[in-house]
Amino acid sequence: MKILVIGGGPAGLMAAKQAFLKGHDVCIVDSQEKLGKKLLMTGNTRCNITNNKELNEFMKQCSKSTRFLYSSLSEFGPKEIIEFFNEHNCPLVPEDYDRMFPQSQKATDILNVLLTESVKTELNTKVERLNIKDHTIESITTNKGELTADHYILATGGKSFPVSGSDGSGYKLLQSVGHTITDLVGIETGLHSINTRPLQGLSLKDVTIKVRVKNKVKTTEIGDVLFTHFGLSGPGILKISETVVEHLKHPVSITLSLQQVDLSTGSLTKKLKAIYPNRFVDELLKDYDEKPLEQTSNYDKEIIRTIYLNPTYKITGVQPIEKAFVTKGGVATKDIDPITMKSKLIHNLSICGEVLDCHGSVGGYNLTLALSSGYTAGRKI
C-alpha cells in the first residue's frame, strides 16, 4: 500500500518506520525544511526520550484521557523503547533514577535512529486540506499541489513552539472531517508573577514548590526554579504548571519552601546566604529586622519559619500556548480505535502523537506517548 505520513516528528517518524518494515511504500510530508525539528529541541537538545517506570506507575503521571493509549503502551511502552534504542546502537541511560536520555546526550542520535533511509520525504510541504468522499480521503491538498495514497497517518503534533512546525493546523484538518477537538491549553509552561521581578536571572536548585489555590496546597513538587522577566520557570515550575493552569480562575500562588536552618544562634542572613544566592536572600529579607538569633523571640522565629522560609508569589497568568512545551487537549479519543489508532470516522486515516487528547508529565512521558502511538499506527494499518 502507498502510505502518506503527515508530520515528521517522533510519532510520524516511528509510524513511517513501522509501516515501511511491514512492506508498505511510505512517504513523510512535512511543512518544515527538515524532519524532527521539535525532537532536536527536547531535553535542552539532550532529549529525555522516555522514562523507565513500570507501566502502571508511568500511567499515574499521565492525564486520565491517556488511558486510551494503555493497549499501545503495553505493546510498545517505556521498556520496549529502551530496548529499541539499545538495539539501534543508541543506548539510553537514566538520570535522577528514571528519566532516560541517550548515552551520547545528543537528541540528534535519537533522530538518526528514527529516520528510515528508504522512506521518501516531501519537505517544505504543508498539508492544507483533506479531500474526503464517502468517509475516505481521496487526496490531500498541499501548498505544492495534490498528493494521493491508499492510507494516511496524521501526526502533526500540538500547538506549542510553532517555529518547530507544529502550529496547530492538524487540529483544523481533523475538525474539518468531523473529528472533535477538546479544549487546547498550553502546559509545561512558565508562570506570570509580578513580585518576582527583582529576582530575574536567579535560579534555585531542588526547592520544594507548593501550588496554593485559595490558599490551600493543591500539589507539591521538588525541582529547580528559575526567575525570569515574566515570573517563574525552570523544570520544577514546568512540572506543577498544569495544576496552576487548571485553577487559574481562582487565586493561585506558589510557595517555595526553603531549607530549614538552625534558628538557635547566629545570623539568619549569613545562614541563608550559605545556601542561596546573595541577591535572593537580600530580597527575601528586605523587610526583616535582623538581630542575632539568640536575641530573637520565639514568636519572631515562628514568623521566620512560616513567612521568610516560605516565600510566596502570586500567580497572575501563564505563558501563551505557543511558548508552552506541551499541548493539553486535542483529538477526542472516542473517535479513534485504541488498538490500531485508526479513525472511526474516516476509513483510510490513522492518528497518532501529541495531536491526540493524551499527555503526560515532564520526564520523557510525552515522547513516549508519541513513539508508542506512532508505533501502533504504523504497524496496524
Ligand X SMILES: Cc1cc2nc3c(=O)[nH]c(=O)nc-3n(C[C@H](O)[C@H](O)[C@H](O)COP(=O)(O)OP(=O)(O)OC[C@H]3O[C@@H](n4cnc5c(N)ncnc54)[C@H](O)[C@@H]3O)c2cc1C
Q: In terms of CB distance, is 33 or 183 closer to ligand X?
A: 33
Q: In terms of CB distance, is 252 or 326 closer to ligand X?
A: 326
Backbone dihedral region for residue 364 (phi beyond 0: left; psi -120 to 50: alpha; all else: beta) = left
Q: Would you say 222 and 208 are in contact if contact means Cβ atoms under 8 Å apart?
A: yes
List own/partner pairs for 302-309 with CB under 8 A and 24 or more apart.
Answer: 304/263, 304/268, 305/260, 305/263, 308/268, 308/284, 309/257, 309/258, 309/259, 309/260, 309/261
Q: In terms of CB distance, is 313 or 365 closer to ligand X?
A: 365
According to CB under 6 A, which one of 367, 375, 378, 380 is a site residue for ligand X? Answer: 367
Q: Would you say 220 and 207 are in contact if contact means Cβ atoms under 8 Å apart?
A: no
Q: In terms of CB distance, is 309 or 326 closer to ligand X?
A: 326
Kindly compute the dihedral angle of the four CA atoms of residues 333, 339, 186, 43, in this order, to the nearest 10 degrees: 180
- Contacts (CB under 6 A) with ligand X, residues 336-355: 353-354
Angstrom distance (rounded) from CA 106 to CA 352: 25
Closest CB 29 distance from ligand X, rounded Å = 5
| Residue 357 found at the interface with ligand X (CB under 6 A) | no
Residues in a beta bridge with 211: 219, 254
| Residue 90 found at the interface with ligand X (CB under 6 A) | no
Closest CB 305 distance from ligand X, rounded Å = 36
- Contacts (CB under 6 A) with ligand X, residues 127-156: 127, 155-156
Q: Would you say 191 and 254 are in contact if contact means Cβ atoms under 8 Å apart?
A: yes
Closest CB 100 distance from ligand X, rounded Å = 10
According to CB under 6 A, which one of 7, 77, 186, 231 is a site residue for ligand X? Answer: 7
According to CB under 6 A, which one of 370, 375, 380, 381 is a site residue for ligand X? Answer: 370
| Residue 18 found at the interface with ligand X (CB under 6 A) | no
Closest CB 303 distance from ligand X, rounded Å = 40
Closest CB 158 distance from ligand X, rounded Å = 6
Q: In terms of CB distance, is 34 or 214 closer to ligand X?
A: 34
DSSP string, 90-149: --EEEETTTEEEETT--HHHHHHHH--TTSEEE-S--EEEEEEETTEEEEEEETTEEE--
> Which amino acid, residue 149?
A
Element (H, E) at 192: strand 191-192
Residue 368 has which C-alpha cell? 513516549
| Residue 8 found at the interface with ligand X (CB under 6 A) | yes
Q: In terms of CB distance, is 33 or 287 closer to ligand X?
A: 33
| Residue 109 dihedral angles phi and psi, to the nearest 5° | -70, -35
Sequence-distant (≥ 6) Cβ neighbours of residue 338 within 8 angstroms: 68, 69, 70, 71, 72
According to CB under 6 A, which one of 160, 253, 319, 333 is a site residue for ligand X? Answer: 160
Q: In terms of CB distance, is 28 or 284 closer to ligand X?
A: 28
| Residue 223 found at the interface with ligand X (CB under 6 A) | no
How many chain residues interact with ligand X (CB under 6 A)? 40
- Contacts (CB under 6 A) with ligand X, residues 41-80: 41-43, 47-48
Q: In terms of CB distance, is 272 or 358 closer to ligand X?
A: 358
Question: Applying CB under 6 A, which residues contact ligand X?
Answer: 6-12, 29-32, 37-39, 41-43, 47-48, 126-127, 155-157, 160-161, 164-166, 169-170, 325-326, 353-354, 364-367, 370
